[in-house]
Chains A and B, each alone.
Chain A
Amino acid sequence: MAQKRKVSGKAILKYTLGWNPGGKITTTQYVLYAVQIAVVILLSWLGAVATPVVGPGIGFLYWAYPFFVVFTLWWGLWGILGAFLGSVIGAGLLTGLPIIPSLGFSIGDLVPALLIFLLYRSYLQRAGVDPLGKDILTSKKAAAWFAFWVMGVTNIIGGMWGVWVLVQLGFVPIHAYWIGAGLWILGDAIVLLLAPFLSKYLTPIVERYGLITKGWIS
């Protein structure tokens, strides 16, 4: 269930799309946001070198994806930044992928992360879905929305964008666009099956430390 309090009959949401409802970012939070980006870079790198290469610049199983989805639900803009930098540096530069395609196709990770955050903190939260994704394994509604929006819509947008960039940069032949996009989307949908488990088991730890952002940045 979404984290809500009721005041005078009107629900007040705990996690919102306010820019900085928590006030000043503490030094610990500042460091945490930097460290989590390093973790996403590390996981992106490990995932990229361990995954089968199915196309030019296309690895089949991007293991960092469920992590940055969960980090985005927790930390908003910092998680989204982690998704982008993790892809550019971890899955791109550190695996020998050139700089320009790395920057280009990583937008295919930034946009899904951004959309996921927007959806969970607004529309889905009002629909009764937990904004941190803790109820995906326990609620059919949450599971269905996760499958539709996260594994489906945002994943498809990311895959289509990423392969389109690779076509424009001359890495993937235009006639192979749909095959490349299909492999990208399918691989990411498979690894996203881990996200509900990560959210269920890790979110209570982070909540206990009081480190979840209430808005975009704090």
Chain B
Amino acid sequence: MSRVNKLGSKKRIRTILFSARANSIFVRMDPLLKFVVWLVMSVAVVRMITEPFPDAALGAVVLIFAVSFLAESGTIKFLVKSYLALILVALAVLFLWWIFFNQVGNNVILYISFIGLSLKVTTESAYIGVAKVMGYAAMALLTLLVLMTTRDSDAIKALNELKMPFRVVFFLSLTLRSFNIMAEDLETINQAKFARGGSHSMNPISRAKDFMALSVPLTVAMIKRSVEMGSALEARGFSNAKKVTQFGEINRSAYDFALLALSIIVLVAAYTINLTIIIGV
């Protein structure tokens, strides 16, 4: 399958997590505006779910927004393969905690009593649990959408737009880029362990021993990489670099501002109305 389209540009690009369609709206979005939209929507959702009567409908709107863009960017398959189980477990635990520890309301739909402990599930507590799940799912998918449609270089570009000092931006870019490098080193160490008869156990004590066994080669790899990269940077005059001019294009399209406007509308709605009550659910 060809990795380039008819014009010769890539169909998919590598992002912080996995890859995404190069021409998708969120990938092409200005990174700084993308982070602002993400933050604004997150604040809106936190507001929604901390209300005494949480707004599940508005949470569902944000959730649909996130899922739509995940599908449009071609990243939903990674979500399903890698994160779905983790997110579903987290959502189930969240729902159960709110059912057990927030037994409010009088309209009982389920009552269980066992060895002196009782569980009363009402329509109110079930609704609150569902609203919390909607809100959490919306925020989680929004977070994954941003991570799956943003490249390392986009994150650095956003920091440069904020006029942060060169050394700070470079430090953070080193950290981001080192993440994948160290992940590869860790994988190499694991492969070496298996080649020497190591096994992958689920036993907590074995897992603890595994972590300990990884720590020495990982630390040595970390120091070795740092010494190599440090030497390479020195050879390029890094320590003498004082003021470095950062070059980058700022491309903001109408889509970017439309998404920003939408996020602000959602934020205002979260503070002023309750969509669930308005639509009469």
User: Which residues of chain A have a CB within 8 Å of any CB of chain B?
Assistant: 26-39, 41-42, 46, 49-50, 53-57, 61, 63, 67, 85, 93-100, 168-173, 175-176, 179, 191, 193-194, 197-198, 201-202, 205-206, 209, 211
Interface centre among B139, B207, B211 (most CB of A within 10 A): B211
| Among listed B67-75, B83-91, B107-115, interface-contacting one | B83-91
Q: Name A102's closest neighbour in chain B (CB-CB).
A: B143
Contacts of B231 in A (CB 8 A): 28
**13 other contacts beyond A38-B181, A42-B182, A94-B17, with CB at 8 A cut-off?**
A28-B230, A29-B230, A33-B171, A42-B179, A50-B207, A61-B204, A85-B175, A94-B147, A98-B42, A100-B43, A198-B215, A205-B216, A209-B227
Q: Name A58's closest neighbour in chain B (CB-CB).
A: B93
Given contacts A27-B233, A41-B179, A205-B223, contact A173 B102 (CB under 8 A): yes
CB distance from A54 to the nearest CB of B (A): 7
User: Which residues of chain B have a CB within 8 Å of any CB of chain A?
Assistant: 17, 38-39, 42-43, 45-46, 49-50, 54, 83, 86-87, 89-90, 93-94, 97-98, 100-102, 132, 135-136, 139-144, 147, 167, 171-172, 174-176, 178-179, 181-183, 186, 204, 207-208, 211-212, 215-216, 218-220, 222-223, 225-227, 229-231, 233-234, 238-239
Interface centre among B86, B89, B101 (most CB of A within 10 A): B101
Contacts of A34 in B (CB 8 A): 171-172, 174-175, 178
Q: Name B141's closest neighbour in chain A (CB-CB).
A: A96
Contact A211 B223 (CB under 8 A): yes
Q: Name B102's closest neighbour in chain A (CB-CB).
A: A173
Q: Name B230's closest neighbour in chain A (CB-CB).
A: A28
Q: How many contacts between A and B, using CB within 8 angstroms?
A: 159
Contact B234 A99 (CB under 8 A): no
Contact B46 A169 (CB under 8 A): yes
Contacts of B86 in A (CB 8 A): 49, 95-96
Which 6 A-B pairs give the minimum distances between C-beta atoms?
Answer: A28-B230, A98-B139, A38-B178, A34-B174, A32-B226, A176-B101
Contact A56 B97 (CB under 8 A): yes
Contacts of A67 in B (CB 8 A): 215
Contacts of B186 in A (CB 8 A): 42, 46
Contact A32 B182 (CB under 8 A): no
Contact B212 A99 (CB under 8 A): no
Contact A175 B183 (CB under 8 A): no
CA distance A30 to B170 in the complex (A): 10
Q: Name A38's closest neighbour in chain B (CB-CB).
A: B178
Contacts of B227 in A (CB 8 A): 28, 209
CA distance A170 to B227 in the complex (A): 45
Contact B93 A53 (CB under 8 A): yes
Contacts of B167 in A (CB 8 A): 30
CB distance from B227 to the nearest CB of A (A): 6
Interface centre among B87, B100, B136, B147 (most CB of A within 10 A): B136
Contact A99 B101 (CB under 8 A): no
| A-B pairs with beta carbons under 8 Å apart, 17 shown | A27-B234, A28-B227, A32-B226, A32-B230, A34-B172, A34-B175, A37-B175, A38-B181, A56-B94, A63-B207, A96-B83, A99-B143, A169-B46, A193-B208, A194-B208, A194-B212, A201-B215
Q: Name A46's closest neighbour in chain B (CB-CB).
A: B186
Interface centre among B83, B132, B143, B204 (most CB of A within 10 A): B143
Contacts of A193 in B (CB 8 A): 208
CA distance A33 to B179 in the complex (A): 13
Contact A31 B93 (CB under 8 A): no
Contact A206 B219 (CB under 8 A): yes
Contact A35 B222 (CB under 8 A): yes
Contact A53 B215 (CB under 8 A): no
Contact A170 B54 (CB under 8 A): yes
Residue B143 contacts which of A42, A57, A93, A170 (CB distance < 8 angstroms)? A93
Contacts of A30 in B (CB 8 A): 167, 171, 230
